[in-house]
Amino acid sequence: MILFKKATDLRKWVDAQSKKGNSIAFVPTMGALHAGHISLIDAASKENQVTISSIFVNPTQFNDLKDFEKYPITIEKDIEMLEAAGCNVLFLPSVKEIYPEGIKPEMQYELGYIETILEGKFRPGHFQGVCMVVHRLLDIVQPDNLYLGQKDYQQCMVISKLVELINQQDTIKVNICPTLREKDGLAMSSRNMRLNEDERKLAAIIYRCLSYIKEHTGKQSVNDIKKQTQSMLEEAGLRVDYVEIAEAKHLSPITTWDEKEKAVALIAAFMNEVRLIDNMLLN
């Protein structure tokens, strides 16, 4: 695996690969890698000649300074995992390399409705930060295929919208990969490393709640299911940001079931200091 720290060096290398006709896959990450990240590398490597991953803990997408400061960093292990997975390139830039002109705080991306709900509502500015970093990374890497995890459902929608906003929808294909889970159903996440043993066990309630919603889809009122789920989470000791059942394409909330409409359940909740999110398609 080749490691690049400078955008210009990586750009030159990618140019040469593209000239050879090799298709370029890109898997952006914030590191502290787990099997979920590696599943994206696997999907990318199967479908492309060149797989590039990046590790960059992006300061502009953290609305909570403590969350940023405590974000796990395991770079040596990450490099080993990427190498073992057959990743061709790791881009490991500094903050200066990503934001050479400094961090400009003003809102820039017209994301519309998607930015005002769920994660957007509870983490103000988060998706602007995601767009800032992904836009810059896409400019540097210029991939043919971008690989994202369904684990971050709303983020997938935001990044797809970003690709349109920067007029790259005909050159960059967005591929969304399934969520990898632990044996008890907990979605793999870098933030799980911050949970102690008891918290880790209790956190699996999020998956059980999503499964509960799925089992009761169409059988009980949407409102009753949401209330029941909220109680289940609270009884397990979680502090709930939201339990939402939404239409899968645009994420507008659903109030009554409609068999023909694809729906998704989404949960965000704190286990003590650690904020966890997960989702499940319902039909």
CB atoms within 10 A of CB 77: 12
Which DSSP state fits 252? P
- Report, in Å, the least distance between residue 71 CB and ligand AMP: 9
Size of residue set near ligand AMP by CB under 6 A: 17
Contact status: 60 vs ligand AMP (CB under 6 A): no
Applying CB under 6 A, the span of 4-12, 29-37, 215-223, 241-249 interacting with ligand AMP comes to 29-37
CB atoms within 10 A of CB 9: 12
Contact with ligand AMP (CB under 6 A) among 92, 187, 233, 243 = 187
What is the sign, positive or negative, of the torsion defined by CA atoms of 279, 82, 26, 72?
positive
Select 56 or 109, whichever has its Cβ closest to ligand AMP: 56
Contact status: 51 vs ligand AMP (CB under 6 A): no
Is the separation of the CB atoms in 185 and 211 below 8 Å? Answer: yes
Contact status: 136 vs ligand AMP (CB under 6 A): no
For the chain, give the number of residues.
Answer: 283
Query: Amino acid identity, residue 182?
Result: E
Is the separation of the CB atoms in 192 and 35 below 8 Å? Answer: no
Contact with ligand AMP (CB under 6 A) among 126, 135, 151, 226 = 151
- Report, in Å, the least distance between residue 152 CB and ligand AMP: 4
126 in active site? no
Contact with ligand AMP (CB under 6 A) among 24, 25, 36, 134 = 36
Contact with ligand AMP (CB under 6 A) among 117, 148, 202, 225 = 148
Select 156 or 216, whichever has its Cβ closest to ligand AMP: 156
Contacts of 170 (CB under 8 A, 6+ apart): none
- Report, in Å, the least distance between residue 249 CB and ligand AMP: 18
Which DSSP state fits 253? B
CA distances (Å), origin 191, targets 55, 73, 137, 259: 15, 11, 23, 35
The enclosing H or E element of 53 equals: strand 50-55
Is the separation of the CB atoms in 254 and 245 below 8 Å? Answer: yes
Contact with ligand AMP (CB under 6 A) among 14, 24, 30, 206 = 30
Catalytic residue numbers? 37
Contact residues toward ligand AMP (CB under 6 A) are 29-30, 36-37, 39-40, 148-149, 151-152, 177, 179-180, 187-190
